Amino acid sequence: MYKTADDSRIQISELMLPSFANFGGKIHGGYILGLMDQIAFACASKHSRSYCVTASVNKVDFLNPIEVGELVTMKASVNYVGKSSMVVGIRVESENIQTGLKKHCNSSYFTMVAVDKLGKTVTVPGLILTTKMDAKRFIKSIIRRESDAKRSKDLEGLYKNVEDHLEQLKDYRVKIDFK
């Protein structure tokens, strides 16, 4: 069975209230991450027709602050599918509802895994790529996964031979004081 990205695409909007703000008057990043996790769950569950859990979040850069009173819109789509996993791409925008000015606040990629009631992984439908953008997103997800796997492997070696890398620390604000 296969589905298109459009079959599970989701968009939500929410007005940002003062109770979501930090002491600086900006919306808490953690609150936004929580909303992103919810939309990733909804999108992945809609695609798989299964309960889904968050396996990982690939890099979240907060590009622009979100102000109290702005309307935040999140757009999510399945960009990649494996056997039981899906990469859900999320774009977060805020809009000043008085001026109409929109800002791109962040984009991120959530890896979600479909599971049954016992927590065992289940096979998800494949993805039908209907546009060049769909294909681009799928290919970028593959590259991101391969890059993450390589980086993890490279870092594993570092833990075994940390002494070989101590010279690299001379240009950083760090003092080595091993006991």
Can you give the pLDDT at residue 41? 98
Q: Where are the domains of the chain?
A: 2-165
Residues 21, 59: Cα–Cα separation, whole Å: 22
Instruction: Please state the length of the chain.
Output: 179
Mean pLDDT by 10 residues, the chain (179 residues): 96 98 95 98 98 95 96 98 98 98 97 97 98 97 93 78 81 88
| pLDDT at position 179 | 83
Spatial distance between the Cα atoms of 28 and 118, rounded to a whole number of angstroms: 34
pTM (two decimals): 0.89
Query: Quick one: tokens of 27?
Result: 């919306």
Domain 2-165 has CATH 3.20.110.10: no
- How far is Cα 107 from Cα 103, in angstroms, rounded to an integer? 12
